Each structure stands twice: as structure tokens, then as C-alpha cells.
């Protein structure tokens, strides 16, 4: 089999290391096989094609949930979804291709420089993937370790550091096949040492009761005309049902209320928004608050819409707005249409209903909930960006991450939860997720799931909000440590390759 096709197959198999399958040992095995292909490659051009093929196979399989989103969009045919997956993967695969190319260029005469260079280059290219063109850091290699004890290393080296460990584990396996026992043994000791890094101790806080709502409202129903009343009924029924101690904070999903909760247009529009807030907050008792996703509509002249925001509201009794957070990191094609004049002229549109692009918010903010502590917000997709999820000057006690994963099939929701777990472990801050169809979860400050609701199940989670940990080393320094480690490995591999020539 040609090296490119073999790399494509290996990459496709490696996708099953990610959730929902979660066969994490597949990833080190795939990296080991990739090392062998790079070692045997005859040219830089062939190696770039090998790395690109590996990435292409991995992304096409792992990102299949994107194709599902197109099945909910009447304006575009469903088959266009798979074209979108392939086109996106063709671009994303450039980054592992670059990592493979660097590993081949500085592989030297022995296998060791190749392993070091690849382990250094891979997280650097992942970081670039999460930064360039608004960034798409979905499914870094490190996320495959969320169900292993190596997750604790994220408190120091973060997600990209976990990627280094996955790459080194694959390199270890390959070096063993090449009988490089000494270096393989050193790498094994490093992995074992990382395994035993201690978890930070959480800070004891007053018990705070929460209820997380999952109404099981599918994307096929959510925006149907007249369905808002049914959605309101389901949310209210789950929110007020007996059970669970009170007072409590109640959490609803992203855009749980499809009508605007704030509207700057006419008095009539403002009154209707007030009605929607009051109806949503009718379940809120004294000293309680509702945290919900909703829409804010802006107007310059009090008549016409000048913009809108995908927002999170903290609502008190009577629908009083305690605070509002506007999503900052918007999803291309989901919340705005890039190059709108060109793309709309050829019939393309946003995947989410409506032709109005959302306005971008100012970024991570921390809000005080009277009597309940500090909350940080990350709306849906925003939670996947390592070291960008909190206002570091005003550290929150927990992060609320409402999302709408209802249109992302079976693979998208568990992958999203896995990345939320990484953010909790990195920052030492618990994360609360509420979604329409799942997976809703309460995640502690170590990245472990305390309670959750399965996909496509209606229900409510009654839990005590997990306490935060003191700021982790990663929380203080962000991606400085993993990127320094990555560059050290890259430079070390380059230096070793030149020395051994």
C-alpha cells in the first residue's frame, strides 16, 4: 500500500481514540505507526503528504458530527455536510502535515531525533490550529487522556502538554520496535512520573445547591413556529419538580428561550422581552437565580434591529437581569457568515436559523451572583479554547457552559464534554454544562464528571456545586509551560540530529 493511503487509514483508525468510542491506546499506536512511515519516507514532499493524509483520515472520521448539522438546514442540501467535513479536514490536516515534515527534516541517523522533533512540533502546530483564522482547536491529541490519571498533568502542562505525552508514548512504542531501549526507558519513566503528579486540593466552600435542566428539545423542533410554548412548559416542569434541596441555582441550555430576553426596539418589543424574562424566572424562589441562554437584540433608533448577541442571562425574581454575558468567540457559518455578500449570493447561509449575524462580546468575564459567589461564562464552542476561558484578574468559583449540541449527532456532544473536562482540570475550576439534548454534566475542579444526563434524555441534575481548587500552575502561566516544553523538544531533536550526522 502506498504510504499516503496507509497514513490515511492509520489516521482514520486513530479517530476512534476520541469520544465517544474512547479507545485511547489507539492514539499512541497510531503515532508509532506514523513515526515508522516518516522514518521510511524518501523525501520531504512525500512526508508532508503522509502527515497530511494522517490528519485527513483522523479529522474526516472524528468530525463527522459537522455533517449532521446540515440535516437541520432546509436552505442547503444535507449532502453538502459531508463536503463541508472533507473541505474543513483538508485544511486542518495541514497542521499534522507540518509536524511530520519537521520530524523528517531533522530525523538524523538514529530514530531518537525524529521522536523528539515530532513530539515538539505536534503541540506547536495544534496551538497554531487553535489560533489561525479564529482557530479550531477541536480534538487535540491530549483530549484522549481525559479518562486516564494523566489528566492530572493538565494542571501543570495543560492540553498541549498532554499532547506531548501522547506523542512521546507513541514514540516510546516505536523506539521499542527499533530496539532503542535506553531512550524508550527514559520516556517510560517520564510518563510514569507524570502519572503520579498530585491533584491540587480543593478549597472548602459553603454548599451550594444547583439544578441543571436538560429538556430533550431536538434541533428539528427548537425553531419550529409555535414550539416556544412547548419548550417553556418542558423547561418549567423540570425546573419546579419536587426533589433537591433549596434554595438553588437553576441552569438552562444555550438559547433555551428563543424569543429575545432583552430588546432595544419599540416599547412593545421591550415589554415582550420583559414578559419572557418574567415567565422564565417564575420558577425562581427567594434568594434563587436562573442562569439561561437567550438572545439580546440591539437597536440604534428604537425601531430597527442593528445587531443581536448570543447571550447568557442571570435572572432574579420577577425576571430582573442581574447580569448578561455576550458570546465572544463566534462560530463561522453557525453564528455569522464569513464573506456574507459573496457566499449569500451563491445561496449559502448560516446553519443556525436567521440571516442576522451575531455581534461578538468582549471576552471572558466574571460576574457576582449575590449570595452565591462568582461565575464565569463560556458559551458552547468557547470552552474548547485552552487558557482562554476565564478572566484571570477576577477568578470565578465555577464556569457555566451552556451549549446547544442538539444538531451534532452522537459524536459531537461527548467530544464537547471531554474538552470541557480539560478546561476544568487546567484551571482548577468546576464546570456546569446544560444542553437541550445532552450531554449535560457537573464537572469538578479535577475534570471528573460528578453527575451527568445521557444523550437524548429529558431530566434534571440535582447536585451540590463542586468547590474550586487554588489556581493551578497552568492557570497562572497558561500555555507558556507546554509551548516552552514543545520548543525544547523540537530544538533538542534538531540539535541531536545535527550532532549525530
Q: Is 327 marked active-site?
A: yes
Q: Which residues contact 301 (CB under 8 A, 6 or more apart)?
A: none
Give the count of beta carbons closer than 10 Å to the beta carbon of residue 415. Answer: 22
Euclidean distance between CA atoms 14 and 34, whole angstroms: 11
> What count of Cα atoms within 13 Å lies in the side-chain half-sphere of residue 452?
21
Catalytic residue among 35, 327, 388, 426: 327
Q: What is the pTM of this model?
A: 0.93
Predicted confidence at residue 333, as pLDDT, reads 65
> For residues 240 and 283, is the Cβ–Cβ distance under 8 A?
yes
CA separation for the pair 351, 348 (Å, rounded): 9
Q: Which of 254, 335, 426, 427 is catalytic?
A: 254
Question: What local confidence, expressed as pLDDT, does residue 339 receive?
Answer: 45
For residues 407 and 438, the answer to whether their CB atoms sit within 8 Å is no
The answer to whether the beta carbons of residues 420 and 432 sit under 8 Å apart is: no
Among the listed residues 35, 107, 335, 380, the single catalytic one is: 380
User: Where would I find the beta strands (DSSP E) of 219-372?
Assistant: 249-251, 262-263, 289-298, 307-315, 321-326, 366-369
Contact 373, 350 (CB under 8 A): no
Site of grid cell 531501549: 181
CA–CA distance, 103 with 116 (Å, rounded to integer)? 8
Peptide bond into 12 cis (omega under 30): no
- In this prediction, residue 346 carries a pLDDT of 44
List, in order of start, the domains of the chain with CATH numbers: 3-200+478-499 (no CATH), 209-471 (3.60.110.10)
Give the span between the Cα atoms of 331 and 225, in whole angstroms. Answer: 25
Q: Match 440604534 to its residue by C-alpha cell.
A: 300
Three cell numbers, residue 206: 459553603
Contact predicate 445/428, CB 8 Å: yes
Tell me if residue 254 is catalytic. yes
Query: Is residue 374 among the annotated active site residues?
Result: no
Note the pLDDT of residue 219: 76
Contact 442, 461 (CB under 8 A): yes
Cα separations (Å) of 401 from 83, 246, 293, 381? 30, 22, 10, 9
Q: What angle separates helix 111-129 from helix 94-105, to the nearest 10 degrees?
A: 150
Query: Which residues does 499 contact at the CB level (< 8 Å), separation at least 6?
Result: none
Query: Which residues neighbour 204 within 8 Å (Cβ) at sequence distance 6 or greater?
Result: 467
Note down pLDDT in tens along the chain; length 501 residues. Answer: 799 999 999 999 999 999 999 999 999 999 999 999 999 999 999 999 999 999 999 999 999 998 887 776 655 666 777 888 999 999 999 999 999 999 999 988 889 999 999 999 999 999 999 999 889 999 999 999 999 999 999 999 999 999 999 999 999 999 999 999 998 999 999 899 888 888 888 777 778 999 999 999 877 677 677 778 888 889 989 998 888 788 899 999 998 888 899 988 888 989 998 999 999 998 888 899 999 999 999 888 888 888 889 999 999 998 999 999 999 988 776 665 554 444 444 445 445 555 567 788 899 999 999 989 999 999 998 999 999 999 999 999 999 999 998 888 899 999 999 999 999 999 999 999 999 998 999 999 999 999 999 999 999 999 999 999 999 999 999 999 999 999 999 999 999 888 755
Beta-strand pair 249-251/440-443: unpaired
Q: What is the pLDDT of residue 255?
A: 86
Is residue 430 reached through a cis peptide bond, with omega within 30 degrees of 0 on the bond before it? no
Residue 66 preceded by cis peptide, ω within 30: no
Measured CA to CA in angstroms, residue 261 lies from 58, 106, 275, 424 at distances of: 41, 57, 9, 29
Amino acid at each position: 500500500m502506498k504510504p499516503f493511503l496507509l497514513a490515511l487509514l492509520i489516521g482514520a483508525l486513530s479517530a476512534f481514540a476520541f469520544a465517544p468510542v474512547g479507545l485511547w491506546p489507539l492514539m499512541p499506536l497510531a503515532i508509532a505507526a506514523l513515526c515508522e512511515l516518516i522514518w521510511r519516507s524518501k523525501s520531504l514532499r512525500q512526508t508532508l503528504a503522509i502527515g497530511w493524509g494522517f490528519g485527513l483520515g483522523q479529522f474526516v472520521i472524528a468530525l463527522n458530527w459537522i455533517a449532521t448539522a446540515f440535516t437541520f438546514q432546509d436552505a442547503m442540501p444535507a449532502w453538502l455536510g459531508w463536503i463541508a467535513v472533507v473541505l474543513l479536514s483538508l485544511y486542518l490536516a495541514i497542521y499534522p502535515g507540518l509536524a511530520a515534515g519537521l520530524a523528517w527534516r531533522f530525523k538524523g541517523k538514529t530514530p531518537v531525533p525524529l521522536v523528539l522533533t515530532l513530539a515538539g512540533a505536534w503541540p506547536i502546530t495544534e496551538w497554531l490550529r487553535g489560533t489561525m483564522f479564529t482557530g479550531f482547536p477541536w480534538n487535540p491529541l491530549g483530549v484522549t487522556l481525559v479518562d486516564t490519571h494523566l489528566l492530572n498533568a493538565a494542571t501543570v502542562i495543560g492540553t498541549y502538554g498532554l499532547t506531548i505525552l501522547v506523542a512521546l508514548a507513541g514514540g516510546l512504542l516505536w523506539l521499542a520496535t527499533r530496539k532503542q531501549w535506553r531512550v524508550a526507558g527514559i520516556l517510560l519513566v517520564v510518563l510514569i512520573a507524570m502519572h503520579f503528579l498530585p491533584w491540587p486540593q480543593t478549597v472548602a466552600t459553603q454548599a451550594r445547591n444547583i439544578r441543571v435542566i436538560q429538556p430533550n428539545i431536538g434541533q428539528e423542533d427548537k425553531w419550529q413556529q409555535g414550539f416556544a410554548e412547548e419548550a417553556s412548559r418542558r423547561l418549567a416542569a423540570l425546573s419546579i419538580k419536587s426533589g433537591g434541596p433549596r434554595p438553588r441555582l437553576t441552569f438552562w441550555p444555550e438559547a433555551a428561550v428563543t424569543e429575545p430576553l432583552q430588546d432595544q426596539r419599540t416599547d412593545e418589543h421591550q415589554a415582550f422581552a420583559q414578559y419572557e424574562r418574567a415567565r422564565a424566572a417564575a420558577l425562581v424562589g427567594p434568594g434563587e437565580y436562573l442562569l439561561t441562554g437567550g438572545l439580546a437584540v440591539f437597536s440604534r433608533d428604537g425601531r430597527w434591529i442593528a445587531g443581536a448577541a448570543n447571550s447568557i442571562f442571570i435572572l432574579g425574581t420577577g425576571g430582573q437581569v442581574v447580569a448578561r454575558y455576550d458570546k465572544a468567540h463566534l462560530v463561522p457559518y453557525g453564528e455569522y457568515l464569513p464573506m456574507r455578500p459573496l457566499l449569500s449570493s451563491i445561496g449559502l447561509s448560516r446553519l443556525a436559523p436567521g440571516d442576522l449575524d451575531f455581534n461578538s462580546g468582549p471576552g471572558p468575564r466574571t460576574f457576582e451572583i449575590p449570595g452565591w459567589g462568582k461565575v464565569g461564562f463560556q458559551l458552547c464552542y468557547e470552552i474548547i479554547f485552552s487558557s482562554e476561558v476565564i478572566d484571570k484578574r477576577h477568578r470565578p468559583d465555577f464556569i457555566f457552559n451552556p451549549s446547544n449540541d442538539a444538531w451534532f449527532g452522537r459524536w459531537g456532544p461527548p467530544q464537547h464534554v471531554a474538552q470541557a473536562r480539560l478546561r476544568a482540570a487546567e484551571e482548577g475550576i468546576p464546570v456546569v454544562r446544560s444542553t437541550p439534548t445532552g450531554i449535560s454534566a457537573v464537572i469538578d475542579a479535577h475534570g471528573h464528571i460528578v453527575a451527568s444526563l445521557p444523550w437524548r434524555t429529558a431530566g434534571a441534575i440535582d447536585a451540590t456545586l463542586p468547590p474550586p481548587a487554588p489556581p493551578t500552575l497552568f492557570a497562572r502561566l497558561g500555555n507558556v509551560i507546554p509551548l516552552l516544553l514543545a520548543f525544547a523538544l523540537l530544538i533538542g531533536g534538531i540539535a541531536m540530529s545535527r550532532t549525530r550526522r
